[in-house]
Amino acid sequence: MSIIIVTTASGSTSNSYVTTSEMEAYFEQNPLFYSTWTDIPNKDTWVVFAATAIDRLSFSGSRYVTTQSMQFPRDITDDYTDAGYVPQAVKNAQCEMLIYQKLHVDSITMNPNPKTSGITIDSSTVISFFEKENPFNQLAAGGNMKTVFSLLKIWTGASYMAHLGRA
């Protein structure tokens, strides 16, 4: 079964924030991961897998349209969120999530993460990273949970309210 990536903002059938081409452009800037990316079979499956993991988080505000399938865009107006659009930070977080999921390593240090080693995926099985133990204390930057949460922090709970001066 092949997956077709749909990135329509506020779409009812969307399943990703980035296209495979956008993700490839992002990875061209990461020499440690780009060669791995070019060798990945079923890229579309991995792209959707990373978006699914992002969408399992809780975000401030509500969906921009009640019928949209993805968490973004959000019905929030601030310096980072244009109404009806997916912020670039969310797209970047999806790319970083894929690095972490695919390699099970930190993309800067290339150190393995023993808590997720052995997770596999194919085109018929999209499991959520968040069904496994979350390594929130993973160190370094790039392709790890700390980077993903850093990119998303203004839309998650108290940090977003503090950003608006409402906490």
pLDDT tens readout for residues 11-44: 999 999 999 999 999 999 887 788 888 888 889 9
Neighbours of 108 (CB within 10 A): 16
Q: Identify any residues that bridge with 74 across adjacent strands, giving them in sequence order.
A: 63
* 6 located within any domain: no
Quick check: is 15 in a domain? Answer: no
- Is 2 inside any structural domain? no
Q: Is residue 10 part of a domain?
A: no
Rounded to two decimals, the pTM is 0.72
| Per-residue pLDDT, 104 | 62
**Higher pLDDT pick, 162 / 74:** 74
DSSP state string for the chain = --------TT-SS---SS-HHHHHHHHTT-HHHHHHHHH-SSHHHHHHHHHHHHHTS--SS-BSSTT-SSS-SBS--SSS--TTS--HHHHHHHHHHHHHHHHSB-TTT--B-TTTTT---BTTB---GGGSPP-TT--SSSSSHHHHHHHHGGGSHHHHHHHTT--
* Residue type, position 158, single letter: A
Q: What is the pLDDT of residue 100?
A: 79
Which pLDDT value is given to residue 77?
64
Answer whether residue 63 is part of any domain.
yes
Residue 26 lies in a domain: yes
Report if residue 131 sits inside a domain. Answer: yes
Q: Is the pLDDT of residue 107 over 90?
A: no
Please count the structural domains in the chain. 1
For residues 99 and 162, give the distance between their C-alpha atoms in angstroms, rounded to a whole number: 30
Arithmetic mean of pLDDT, 61-90? 84
How confident is the prediction for the chain on average, in pLDDT?
74
Range of the domain at 68: 20-163
